[in-house]
Chain A
Amino acid sequence: MNMTFTQQAETPPAAGSAADAGADPALPVLQLVGVSKRFDGFTAVDDISLDIREGEFLTIVGPSGSGKTTLLRMLAGLEQPSSGNITLRGTLINDLPARARPTCLVFQSLALFPHMSVGRNIEFPLKAKGVAAAARRARALELLKMVRLPEDYYGKNVMKCSGGERQRVALARAFAYDPDVLFFDEPLSALDYKLKKLLEKELKDLHKESGKTFVYITHSLEEAMVMSDRIGVMRAGKLVQVGSPEAIYGAPANRFVAEFVGEVNVFPVSRGDGGWVIGETGEPVRVALPEQMAGARQAAVVVRPEYMRFLEAPGDADNVVRGTVYNEYSLGSRMQYQIRSKHRVFLVEMSRAQTRAGDGKGEVLIGWNAEDAIVVEA
């Protein structure tokens, strides 16, 4: 306990302390090697290895129950891994308690102290470090400015703040701790859409300005896409894919990731004697197989709705389907059509500007080119 205090007292609370520490940019700030967490016969996190890079904005996405919160809690030191190792800049920290780690977690509930004013909430980590009252106050006022709250919020009852304001207070409190890594456990999930969008962008700005490492978890890929440098997708305790937002979107590792990313057309295909056919119906289909799947006999074809087109003639695309439009949705700037063919329902999406008079009525021809489809493991 004393060790941590003296250690942190030497570093004045200032933005960008991660850079001051002279960290080797090649060395991951946090590294997980084969980390698992089991609770009475249930494996919440299953053998995850991951490097978290200095200064990046990493988002872990996954449906609820996929183990992302447990993973974050292990990184924060609120939970100990059952097996595997977590290292911080090369030092093993498996058993280092949360309060001794240079990391800070913004909880889903925010966990603001309801009996303290906004100012005292923000000052809490400074008080824990033994900073004098006047210096605490000065720093709290600075942080209020940073999170764009007026100075007179210092004395305000935190329970009288709105949802977005509380969000900012929690953020300021986390920054007051001056961590190298900030963790976020879906803090924006309770806010309305517009405010959420605004705070996402502010968080991204703050990440850039502070130079700190952000690890964010959410079940919303949309949120992840807006903010992250890299995205990790979790499913049933396993890390399914890690990559840039473009990679996750453009080259999903498997059907789960592809479907998680958004509404897609997806169907199983298998290699028959005369080429590829659609799984259940045996219709022939042209598939552009990626190299690493050259020998595969089974696969899943994913066609994003925006790569599906209405066709003038059957020769206009590699794969052609005849169907009837039975639903159309306005998605604001985009239109989405549901087309029922003999065997399945297809989604076609296009920008409103591209729609033509005849689209979306009666019998239509739709299709896609083989190279626009993503082929993943079944």
Chain B
Amino acid sequence: MDAARNRRSHGLIWIWTLFVALVIYLPVACGALAGLSKGRYFLFPIRAFSFEWWEKTLDSLEIQRIVQTSILIALIVTLVSLAIAFFGALAFARYDWRGRRLYQKLLLLPIFFPQPVLGLALLLWFNALGIQPSWHTAIVAHLVWIVPVVTLVIAIQVYGFDPAMEEAAADLGAGRWMILKDVTLPILWPGIWSGALFAFLLSWGNFPLSLYTAGADSTIPKWLYSKMVAGYTPMVPALGTMSTLAAATLLLLGGAIAGFVRKRRAN
């Protein structure tokens, strides 16, 4: 009786989980299918499939340029935000100092600020300073939003870090550099690694900040939007699918590397 009820509730949980997964991933799948349509316009159901638009997308010089821009922005954002967020996270979670609580609150603010408003504010700010918006300014805008996120991600790892580790290392004769290289960084590594993935993917997929602050330069999300507004071609869903697949691949690769390192450490 109990076993039967247990099985039934188990079954219901499975059905519900599958339903939610379907609702979440179906639109992504539809987008992918739209990019594989032979026709010029988006019609459903799709009558003929082809890789024509994928080929066109891959061949397009314009798209090559915006992909390069997107990658460049995301890479620079990742590196700069890691450098800032690592020390920021130590200040956030490791050290006790006057003004720490205020710092913790100020740091969270940009995350909760609506991004279009943040983008507009930054654009006005660049204008006031007389800076021509381009992909350079987009990097700054991304950093304003992404650095706090990455700081929080790393700070979570820092909270679980026993400060006695660093003290023990110093007590055993290690200098600051050796402590950082051999103790602090390796122990915080999982947090830094996930922070890096966060930074790259948040920059890669960011639309509102790029829209306002990239000026004449375009990124993938910005280009997708502008083509949706005017001049739709199936290259839009094709590029969207590629972008999603690239992000997913990066995430899987990141997870695999983290898993590999963890396994090697555990012998």
Contacts and interface: CB of A to CB of B under 8 A. Distances in A.
Interface of A: 1, 4, 8, 76-78, 97-99, 103-105, 107-109, 111, 113-115, 117, 124-125, 127-129, 155-157, 159-160, 173-174, 176-177
B167 A129 contact: no
Contact of A98 (B162, B171, B182, B266): B171
B167 A128 contact: no
Given A1-B175, A111-B165, A113-B165, A124 B182 contact: yes
Interface of B: 162, 164-165, 167-175, 178, 182-183, 186-187, 189, 265-267
Nearest to A106: B168
Given A115-B265, A117-B267, A128 B168 contact: no
Contact of A128 (B162, B174, B187, B267): B174
Contacts of B164: 107-109, 111
Contacts of A160: 266
B174 A99 contact: yes
B171 A104 contact: yes
A98 B173 CA distance: 8
A285 to B, nearest CB: 50
Contacts of A159: 266
- Interface SS of chain B: helix, strand, loop or mixed? helix
Contact of A78 (B171, B189, B265, B267): B171
A128 B178 contact: yes
Given A117-B267, A155-B267, A157-B265, A111 B174 contact: no
A113 B187 contact: yes
A1 B265 CA distance: 30
Contacts of A176: 172
Given A107-B164, A156-B267, A157-B267, A113 B183 contact: yes
Contacts of B171: 76-78, 98-99, 103-105, 177
B262 to A, nearest CB: 10
Contacts, number: 76
A129 B162 CA distance: 24
A198 B170 CA distance: 30
Given A107-B168, A155-B267, A128 B183 contact: no
Nearest to A114: B187
B100 to A, nearest CB: 15
B9 to A, nearest CB: 37
A98 B171 CA distance: 5
Contacts of A113: 165, 169, 182-183, 186-187
Contact of B162 (A76, A97, A111, A117): A111
A124 B169 contact: yes
B172 A173 contact: yes
Contacts of A103: 171
Contact of B174 (A76, A114, A124): A124
Contacts of B187: 113-115
A108 B172 CA distance: 16
Contacts of B265: 115, 157
A57 B173 CA distance: 23
A174 B169 CA distance: 11
A264 B169 CA distance: 43
18 contacts: A4-B173, A78-B167, A99-B172, A103-B171, A104-B172, A108-B164, A111-B165, A113-B183, A115-B186, A115-B189, A115-B265, A117-B267, A124-B174, A124-B182, A125-B174, A159-B266, A173-B172, A177-B172
B107 to A, nearest CB: 25
B165 to A, nearest CB: 5
A169 to B, nearest CB: 12
Nearest to A120: B182
A78 to B, nearest CB: 5
Given A78-B167, A157-B265, A109 B162 contact: yes
Sorted from nearest, which 5 A-B pairs have the closest CB atoms? A111-B168, A128-B173, A125-B172, A111-B164, A98-B171
Nearest to B189: A115
Contacts of B175: 1, 99, 128
Contacts of A98: 167, 170-171
